Structure 1
Amino acid sequence: MIFPDTLPLLLAALIIEAGLGYPGRLYAWIGHPVTWIGALIAGLDHGLNRENASFAVRRLAGIATLAILLAVTLAAALALLWLCRLAGAWALLPLALFASTLLAQRSLHEHVARVAEGLERDGLTGGRKAVSMIVGRDPESLDKAGVARAAIESLAENFSDGIVAPAFWLGLGGLPGAALYKAINTADSMIGHKSPRHLAFGWAAARLDDLVNLPASRLTALLLVAAAALTRDADAFAAWSAVRRDAGRHRSPNAGWPEAAMAGALDLRLAGPRVYGAVRVEDGWMGDGRAEANAADIRRALLLYRRACLLLWGLAGLGAAACLTITV
């Protein structure tokens, strides 16, 4: 399966995942592809990341870990692809079911909506508890506005990392492409940070994740700008202006694009200085609007997100229709 045959698969996977998500009972029974990938990364980290080794040796061990991870992931994806093709004309359905597990439209919406619900129902305590499930920063350092901003920032960044990026690589490289992206992104989240243990070992994972997320982060910003143009309580011009002005100020080469677009569209200020654990991280502000975000702003962001997802579906649908036309 190669481009453009992957575009009908992408559309089917997006629709299935939005409608069904990943059943909780199935997760309890067999886990999830991300948990399987995470278990392999954790095992390699334990076995190859020796604390008494030199910086250079640990960096090489991290490169080897990434190579092993990608080789195993590719082999598994190709095996699934071969098994699905045994279904002949019906191969698209099992392939789309497998591919849908690599997307997160539904779960992202649910997790972010819980933050708004927590703030509305239980105030700051409820908001902190809900936001702690989706961000790495210290929730006790956040006031109500900080909780709301953290939820909106997570929505914007994870729209790129958890949906648009795997969709991009699924559309470009089929199930193997999306699976490889998910392995890289999971490795970055687990070992790609600058802690003493992973500064050298996670270097390769972090750099490769930056690279593979580059096209999707830009596409995500464009989707959010377009969604703002279709939303009465949003400003597409301000979203585009914020992207052009602020995206490059973010400490991440990719996260600033969707965060700036979201901030501009909703007349908010996002990112800025934050606390992770006991460490204060200085970062540029995205947008020049209000910093005092609230639960209503989270719901506005979710509306924008839903419309951006529909636009992504539309792009996939246009591509799938073009493929069918070419085939016929």
Structure 2
Amino acid sequence: MTPAASNLWLLVIALGLDAAFGYPDAVYRVIRHPVVWIGSLIRQLDRQSNRPAWRRWQRRIGGVVALLVLLGVVFAITAAIRALLRDVPYGWVVEAVLCASLIAQRSLRDHVSAVARGLEQDGLAGGRKAVAMIVGRDPDSLDEHGVSRAAIESLAENFSDGVVAPAFWLAVGGLPGIALYKAINTADSMIGHKSDKYRDFGWAAARLDDLVNLPASRISALLLILACLFTPGTSSRDAFTALERDAGQHRSPNAGWPEAAMAGALGLRLAGPRRYASGWVDDHWMGNGNADATAADIRKALRLYRAACASLGSMAILAAIALTR
């Protein structure tokens, strides 16, 4: 079997394992999660390489060096694990489990479902509590519609960052490929901010994250458009129209693609002006529908998301079969 076919079958199994089991809480309590281990290394590099007394160019160089060290360590460990497992009977099962732990398909669904459930059972207070677990904006500034939009936007963006992008880099590079992607993405989330502390030190991480997420953001938008064909109450035509018109208007070079497709598909307006802990963001609206989203819209978005995940898995299976022949 060629390496490309092997990676695709690994992806198929990893997607299935994640969809079925996610990352069990019992495992997390014992050994935490690979992203937590990566985060610990990033914090250590931050302490050593991001000195307050340094000039801006020194911090930028420190950030580049820290990122290279992070990626070198992650690659060395995962490449060694892959080489070791290939000499072990059924080592591919362990490799698939490791890859599955780096895909957020089930956990994303569970976290967004919790927002809808919170709104339905406990009203605005329940929705705010649940949405605070998945977004960085100030939950106390959100009304019911703001909570619902935040959950749907998080679902769209993280479908790209947490599901499609890991799947793409797994297909490209196997276990090292998906692990390197998660390291970059975690570094961006921790140090890729525009605060005084990280504007220069996190510059390399933020730029590299934009680059590695570029393919997945486009693929995720197309998957959402395709998923409309299997999700009643959604529109692939409106999704494509919103994507074409609004994706490039988002402040992120990537997030606008899945968010615009999701907005058009659901007949909503997403993104737009909003408040984060760091301050107010005056962003462009995605879609031209109704901004008064509700828990029912979150449920519809989740149905679209499940169809998009199923489409991703089906394409991986077809590609794996084609390359195996």
Q: Does 1:34 align with 2:35?
A: yes
Quote the residue 2:52 is aligned against. 51
Map of 1:156 onto structure 2:
156
Q: String of CA shifts for 1:155-206, please: whole Å, max 9, x gaps.
A: 0000000000000000011111100000000000000010110000000000
Partner of 2:5: helix, strand, or coil? coil
Deviation per CA, 1:28-47: give whole Å up to 9, x if none: 11110000000000111111
Q: Secondary structure at the match of 2:275?
A: strand
**Is 1:224 the equivalent of 2:215?**
no
In structure 2, runs of 5+ residues without a counterpart are none
Partners of 2:3 and 2:45 lie apart in 1 by: 31
For 2:54, give the aligned amino acid: A
Shift of 1:278: 5.2
Range 24-33 or range 79-88, more displaced: 79-88
Counterparts in 2 of 1:1-328, with a 5 A limit?
2-88=3-89, 90-277=90-277, 279-325=279-325
Aligned residue pair count: 324
TM-score by length of 2: 0.98
Gaps of 5+ in 1: none
Kept in 1, the 8 Å contact 2:4–2:323? The answer is no
The residue type equivalent to 2:293 in the other structure is: A
The 8 Å contact of residues 82 and 175 in structure 2, kept in 1 or not, is answered as yes
Q: 271-280 or 242-251, which moves further after superposition?
A: 271-280
> Which amino acid in structure 1 is aligned with residue 151 of structure 2?
A
Q: TM-score, normalised by structure 1?
A: 0.97
Write the distance in 2 (CA, Å) between the matches of 1:23 and 1:277: 30
Matched residue type, 2:199: L
Write the distance in 1 (CA, Å) between the matches of 2:32 and 2:231: 37
Contact 2:242 / 2:261 at 8 angstroms: preserved in 1? yes
User: 2:120–2:295: 8 Å Cα contact kept in structure 1?
Assistant: yes
Q: Which amino acid aligns with 1:229?
A: L
Q: What is the SS of the residue equivalent to 1:3?
A: helix
Q: In structure 1, what residue type is equivalent to 2:26?
A: R
- Write the distance in 2 (CA, Å) between the matches of 1:274 and 1:79: 44
Q: In structure 1, what residue type is equivalent to 2:143?
A: D
Q: Distance in 2 between matches of 1:144 and 1:268?
A: 14
Q: SS state of the match for residue 280, structure 1?
A: strand
Identity of aligned residues (%): 59
For residues 26 and 184 of structure 2, the distance between their equivalents in structure 1, rounded to whole angstroms, comes to 26
Letter in 1 for 2:289: G
Paired residue secondary structure (1:135): coil
Measured in 1, the distance between the counterparts of 2:144 and 2:159 equals 23
CA distance in 2, matches of 1:26, 1:4: 30
Which range moves more in the overlay, 154-163 or 278-287? 278-287
- Amino acid of the residue matched to residue 152 of structure 1? I
For the residue of structure 1 that corresponds to 2:3, the secondary structure is coil
Cα drift, residue 320 of structure 1: 1.2
Q: Which amino acid counterpart does residue 310 of structure 1 have in structure 2? A: A
What code does the residue aligned with 1:7 have?
L
Q: How far apart in 1 are the matches of 2:302 and 2:233? A: 12
Answer whether contact 2:274 2:281 (CA < 8 A) is retained: yes
Q: 1:5, CA displacement in angstroms?
A: 2.2
Asked if the contact 1:5/1:323 (under 8 Å) is kept, the reply is: no
